[in-house]
Amino acid sequence: MNEKQIQRLCQVVGPKYGLNLTHEGLVITSVNGEPTSFDASQYMPDQFIDFLTKIIGTKMKADLWDWQ
């Protein structure tokens, strides 16, 4: 991914799907307030989106089990 794609991901796409992403350059520095260090330049856009969908799925599962 390039920096323009990462900026769009953090500012537009992430919030649309319930993800709060921050970045410094090409590195995602937090996901939903949890510190992390993902070098997004090492991923193709489709690969990184697949990775983010796993985060969303894990969050949904946790919410389901916490609800019971």
Tracing tokens 């537009």 back to the chain, one arrives at 12
Q: What does pTM read for this prediction?
A: 0.77
Tracing tokens 């939903």 back to the chain, one arrives at 32
pLDDT at position 67 is 63
Tokens of 26: 């090409």
Alpha helices in the chain, H assignment, sequence order = 3-8, 14-16, 45-67
User: What are the per-10-residue average pLDDT scores of the chain (68 residues)?
Assistant: 92 88 94 91 92 87 80
